[in-house]
C-alpha cells in the first residue's frame, strides 16, 4: 500500500462520501483524489522528481493534509514540519532532508522568510492560502496540466520525520510505505472498527493524529479536523459528528476529565479513544474508563517504529466480569501482532521474563534508518534489533512494562531509580495534575531524586505531605528527596514534558 492507496481505497468505497471535514465543510473522497492529481502535476511541472523531499508547513488543515497524497502520487517524499518548532530547528530539518519544495500557510510566512535564504535547494515555495510574494495554491495549480502517473519513490521512503531537537541535533527518520502499511494493518487488527469510522483529529496531523488517518481512510471513514486544541469544542464535535475514533495524549485526557461538561456529553458513538506518547497515571486511567466508557485504547510506539510496537485494546482494560484490570494499567500493552519485542542487556543478550533491560524490536514496522546518518542508524540497530531507548520488562503473561527512558534512569545511593515508577506514585496523589522526576548531582547520594509537580486546578498541596505519600507507596530509596510545585511544566511541541529543560532550570537555580 502506497500512501495514495489509502485514499484510492476510500474512493472505491464511495467517491461522494465525506473524507476531510472542518468547520462544517467537507471534501469528498472524489474531490481529495482529484486534488491529489492536480498537486502531483504541479509538482512535476515545478521540477520535483521522484525521491525529492517536499515539506508541508501548516497547522491542522484539510487542504494541507490533502497535499500529502499529491506529494506521494508524484513519487516525492512527504516531510511534515511542525509549525511550533523554532525557526532554527525547522531550517536544520529542511536542510538535512534537502527539501526542494515547501507548501505553507500564510500565517507561517514570517517563519518561511527567516529560513528560506539559508536553504539553496528550496526552489519551489507555494502559499496554500495566498497573500504572500510566493504563488498561491490556486495560482500554482492553474498552470499544471498534462498526464502524470502514480510513481513509487526510488527507495520506497514515503516520509521523512524529524525526531525533534529537545536533546541535541534532530535526526530524520526514514519511513517506508511498508512501515506505514504495517502500522495500519496492526491498527485495523487490534482495535474495534464497526462500520465507517468517524475520526476526530485534535492532535497535530504532523504527528500521531496524521498517520492514524491512513487506516481510517482504508475503511472509507470521515476525518473531522480540529484547527486548534479546544476540549470544549472536542466534546461538542464528538456528539455532533457521532465520532467513533480519536487520539489524545495523556495530558489532554487529564484536562478532559476536569471538564464539567464531560459527564453530560453523549459519548455513546465512541469505539476507541487512543492514548499514548507518554506514560499515563493508572488512577487517572481508571477514572477515564469509568467516566468516558470502556473505549480507552493504549498504543506505544516512536517515530522510528510508528505507533504500534505494543497495543492495549479497550477490552484489555477490563476483566471478563467487566471489572477494571488495574494490574495492567501500568503496562504498555502486549507486543503488537506483527511485532517481536524482547528485552536486551548492554552486551546484546536477550533477558528472561521479568528482568529489566532495553526494549528492542524486530518488525517491518521499523524505519529504514536515519537520513544521512549511518552512525546513528548502526547504533539504533545493534545486534540485529531496533533499540528503542526505553528500559522495561515483559511479565509472564506477555505484558510489556516500561520503567524509564534509558537516559532518564537515576542512580541514587547505588540503587537504580526509575523516574517513571516515581511519577506513577506521584500521579496517584489526588492534588497532582502532572509531574516530572529528574536526578540532580548530590555529594552524598551521587544523584538525588527531585520531583516537580503541577497541581490540579484550585488544589493546595504541601510538598512534605506529597513526599510522605510517595514514600508510603514505593519506599524511602525511590521517594523524592525534594518536591517542588510549579505552575506548569515545560513541554515539547507535541505536549510531552521536556525533562532536560526541567533539569537545566533546576541546575541553574
SS (H, E, C) 31-76: HHHHHHHHHHHHHHHCCCCCCCEEEEECCCCHHHHHHHHHHHHCCC
Strand pairing category for 172-176 and 124-127 = unpaired
Q: Is residue 424 within 8 Å of residue 282, measured between CB atoms?
A: yes
Q: Residue 417's pLDDT is what? A: 85
Residues 373 and 425 in one domain: no
Which value, to the nearest 10 degrees, does the dihedral of the CA atoms of residues 68, 18, 273, 63 take?
Answer: 30
The CA distance from 53 to 160, in Å, is 8
Domain-ending residue, one of 127, 143, 173: 173
> 113 in a domain, yes or no?
yes
Least confident window among 32-46, 95-109, 373-387, 461-475: 461-475
Mean pLDDT of 482-490: 93
- Banded pLDDT at 460 (limits 50, 70, 90): confident
In a domain, 491, yes or no: yes
Give 385's contacts (C-beta < 8 A, 6+ positions apart).
342, 344, 360, 361, 362
pLDDT of residue 289: 97
For the stretch 374-385, pLDDT in tens is: 999 999 999 999
The answer on 33 and 145 residing in a single domain is: yes
CB atoms within 10 A of CB 426: 26
User: Which of 378, 405, 432 is a domain's end point?
Assistant: 405
Average pLDDT, the chain: 92
Query: What pLDDT is recorded for position 173?
Result: 96
Same domain, residue pair 365 and 477:
no
Q: What is the pLDDT of residues 287-337, one digit of tens each?
A: 999 999 999 999 999 999 999 999 999 999 999 999 999 999 989 999 999
What is the Cα–Cα distance from 98 to 75, expressed in whole angstroms? 15
Residue 168 has a pLDDT of: 54
The average pLDDT across 268-290 equals: 91
pLDDT higher than 60, residue 404: yes
Tell me: do 398 and 455 sit in the same domain: no
267 SS3 class? coil
CATH assignment at residue 339? 3.40.50.12780
pLDDT at position 295 is: 98
Instruction: Report the 10 Å Cβ neighbour count for 379.
Output: 11
What is the mean predicted confidence (pLDDT) over 176-201?
97
Question: Which DSSP string corresponds to 292-351?
Answer: H-TTEEEEEEETTEEEEEEEE-TGGGB-TTS-B-GGGTTS--EE-TTEEEEEE-TTSPBP
**Neighbour order of strands in the sheet with 18-22:** 25-28, 18-22, 222-225, 198-201, 245-248, 272-275, 296-302, 305-312, 334-335
* Predicted pLDDT of residue 207: 82
CATH number at residue 459: 3.30.300.30
Q: Give 115 or 85, the one with higher predicted confidence.
A: 115
Looking at the structure, tell me whether residues 418 and 385 fall in a common domain. Answer: no
Q: Say what the pLDDT of residue 136 is.
A: 96
In a domain, 179, yes or no: no
Q: How confident is the model at residue 280 (pLDDT cuts 50, 70, 90)?
A: confident
- Any domain includes 185: no
Phi, psi angle pair for 340, to nearest 5° = -105, 125
- Ranges 49-63, 246-260, 353-367, 370-384: which has the least confidence: 246-260
Whether 246 and 273 have beta carbons less than 8 Å apart is answered as yes
Predicted pLDDT of residue 89: 83
Domain residues for the domain of 161 are 24-173
Same domain flag for 380 and 447: no
Q: Evaluate whether residue 188 is within a structural domain.
A: no
The DSSP line for 364-385 is TTS-S-BTT-HHHHHHHTGGGS
> For residue 109, what is the domain's CATH number?
3.40.50.980
- Domain membership of residue 478 (yes or no) is yes
Look at residue 405 in the predicted model and tell me its pLDDT.
Answer: 78
Residue 400 covered by a domain: yes
pLDDT at residue 111 in the model = 93
Whether 426 contacts 435, CB under 8 Å: yes
Q: In the chain, what percentage of residues exceed pLDDT 70?
A: 98
399 and 426, same structural domain?
no
Q: What is the pairing mode between strands 25-28 and 18-22?
A: antiparallel
Measured distance CA(433)–CA(419) in Å, rounded: 17
Give the residue-averaged pLDDT of 409-424: 83
Q: Which of 157-161, 369-373, 505-509 is predicted with the least confidence, judged by mean pLDDT?
A: 505-509
**162 and 41 share a domain?**
yes
Task: Tell me, yes or no, whether 248 lies in a domain.
Answer: yes
- H or E stretch including 104? strand 101-104
Q: What is the pLDDT, as a whole number, of residue 304?
A: 96
The number of beta carbons lying within 10 Å of the beta carbon of residue 348 is 11
Distance of alpha carbon 158 from alpha carbon 260, whole angstroms: 43
246 phi/psi in degrees, rounded to 5:
-160, 170
CB 143 within 8 A of CB 38: no
The structural domain count of the chain equals: 3
> What is the structure's pLDDT at 165?
45
pLDDT value of position 166: 42
What is the average pLDDT across 138-163?
86
**Cα-flanking dihedrals φ and ψ of residue 159, to 5°?**
-150, 145
pLDDT at 275 over 60: yes
Q: What is the mean pLDDT of residues 44-66?
A: 96
Q: Cα 166–169–170 angle (5° rounding)?
A: 70
What is the band of 346 on the pLDDT scale with cuts at 50, 70, 90?
Answer: very high
Q: Residue 115: beta bridge partners? A: none
What span, in angstroms and rounded, lies between the C-alpha atoms of 416 and 431? 27
Q: Using pLDDT thresholds of 50, 70 and 90, give the confidence band for residue 16.
A: very high
DSSP letters for 151-201: ---TTSEEEEEE--SSSSS--EEEEEHHHHHHHHHHHHHHS---SS-EEEE
Choosing from 173, 206, 239, the residue where a domain stops is 173
In the chain, the N- to C-terminal Cα span, in Å, equals: 52
**pLDDT for residue 86:** 78
- Both 425 and 395 in a single domain? no
Residue 129 CA to residue 112 CA, distance in Å, equals 14
Average pLDDT of the segment spanning 237-248: 97
What's the pLDDT band for 494 if we cut at 50, 70, 90?
Answer: low
Strands 410-412 and 415-417: antiparallel
Q: What are 190-221's pLDDT values in tens digits? A: 999 999 999 999 988 988 889 999 999 999 99
* Helix (H) or strand (E) segment spanning residue 424: helix 419-427
* One domain, residues 249 and 354: yes
Shared-domain flag, residues 503 and 372: no
Distance (Å, whole) CA 109 – CA 244: 36
Q: Are 344 and 235 in the same domain?
A: yes
> pTM of this prediction?
0.86
The contacts found for 11-19 with CB under 8 angstroms, 24 or more apart, are 13/196, 13/219, 13/220, 14/220, 17/196, 17/220, 17/222, 18/222, 19/217, 19/222, 19/223
Judged on CB neighbours under 10 Å (0-12, 13-18, 19+), 286 is middle
- Do 182 and 217 meet the contact criterion of CB atoms below 8 Å apart? no
Buried/exposed code over 234-271 (b: 16+ C-beta within 10 A; e: otherwise): bbebbeebebbbbbbbbbbbbbbbeeeeeeeeebeebb
Give the separation between CA 154 and CA 234, rounded to whole angstroms. 40
- pLDDT (mean) for 58-80: 96
Amino acid at each position: 500500500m502506497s500512501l495514495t492507496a489509502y485514499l484510492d481505497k476510500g474512493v472505491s468505497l464511495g467517491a461522494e462520501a465525506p473524507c476531510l471535514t472542518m468547520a462544517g465543510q467537507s471534501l469528498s473522497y472524489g474531490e481529495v483524489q482529484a486534488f491529489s492529481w492536480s498537486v502531483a502535476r504541479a509538482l512535476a511541472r515545478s521540477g520535483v522528481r521522484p525521491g525529492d523531499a517536499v515539506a508541508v508547513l501548516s497547522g491542522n488543515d484539510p487542504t494541507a493534509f490533502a497535499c500529502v497524497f499529491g506529494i506521494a502520487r508524484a513519487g516525492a517524499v512527504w516531510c511534515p514540519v511542525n509549525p511550533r518548532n523554532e525557526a532554527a530547528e525547522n531550517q536544520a530539518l529542511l536542510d538535512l532532508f534537502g527539501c526542494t519544495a515547501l507548501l505553507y500557510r500564510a500565517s507561517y510566512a514570517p517563519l518561511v522568510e527567516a529560513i528560506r535564504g539559508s536553504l539553496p535547494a528550496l526552489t519551489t515555495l507555494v502559499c496554500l492560502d495566498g497573500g504572500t510574494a510566493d504563488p498561491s495554491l490556486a495560482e500554482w495549480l492553474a498552470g499544471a496540466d498534462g498526464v502524470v502517473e502514480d510513481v513509487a519513490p526510488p527507495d520506497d521512503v514515503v516520509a521523512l520525520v524529524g525526531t525533534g531537537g529537545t536533546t541535541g541535533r534532530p535526526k530524520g527518520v526514514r519511513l517506508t510505505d511498508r512501515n506505514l502499511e504495517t502500522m495500519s494493518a496492526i491498527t485495523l487488527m487490534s482495535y474495534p472498527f464497526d462500520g465507517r469510522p468517524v475520526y476526530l483529529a485534535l492532535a497535530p496531523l504532523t504527528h500521531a493524529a496524521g498517520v492514524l488517518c491512513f487506516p481510517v481512510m482504508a475503511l472509507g471513514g470521515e476525518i473531522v479536523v480540529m484547527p486548534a486544541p479546544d476540549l470544549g469544542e472536542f466534546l461538542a464535535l464528538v456528539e455532533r459528528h457521532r465520532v467513533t475514533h480519536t487520539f489524545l495524549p495523556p495530558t489532554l485526557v487529564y484536562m478532559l476529565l476536569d471538564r464539567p461538561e464531560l459527564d453530560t456529553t453523549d459519548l455513546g458513538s465512541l469505539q476507541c479513544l487512543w492514548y499514548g506518547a507518554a506514560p499515563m497515571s493508572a488512577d487517572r486511567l481508571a477514572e477515564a474508563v469509568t467516566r468516558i466508557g470502556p473505549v480507552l485504547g493504549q498504543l506505544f510506539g516512536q517515530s522510528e517504529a510508528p505507533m504500534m510496537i505494543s497495543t492495549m485494546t479497550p477490552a484489555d482494560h477490563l476483566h471478563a466480569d467487566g471489572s477494571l484490570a488495574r494490574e495492567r494499567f501500568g503496562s504498555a500493552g502486549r507486543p503488537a501482532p506483527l511485532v517481536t519485542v524482547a528485552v536486551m542487556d548492554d552486551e546484546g543478550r536477550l533477558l528472561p521474563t521479568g528482568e529489566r533491560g532495553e526494549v528492542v524490536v524486530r518488525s517491518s514496522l521499523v524505519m529504514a534508518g536515519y537520513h544521512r546518518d549511518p552512525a546513528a542508524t548502526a547504533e539504533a540497530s545493534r545486534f540485529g534489533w531496533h533499540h528503542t531507548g526505553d528500559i522495561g520488562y515483559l511479565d509472564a503473561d506477555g505484558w510489556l512494562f516500561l520503567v524509564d527512558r534509558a537516559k532518564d534512569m537515576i542512580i541514587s545511593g547505588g540503587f537504580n531509580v526509575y523516574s517513571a515508577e516515581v511519577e506513577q506514585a506521584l500521579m496517584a496523589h489526588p492534588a497532582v495534575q502532572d509531574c516530572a522526576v529528574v536526578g540532580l548531582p548530590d555529594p552524598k547520594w551521587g544523584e538525588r531524586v527531585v520531583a516537580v509537580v503541577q497541581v490540579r486546578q484550585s488544589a493546595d498541596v504541601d510538598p512534605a505531605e506529597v513526599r510522605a505519600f510517595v514514600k508510603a507507596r514505593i519506599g524511602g530509596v525511590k521517594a523524592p528527596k525534594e518536591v517542588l510545585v510549579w505552575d506548569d511544566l515545560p513541554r515539547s511541541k507535541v505536549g510531552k514534558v521536556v525533562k532536560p529543560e526541567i533539569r537545566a532550570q533546576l541546575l541553574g537555580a
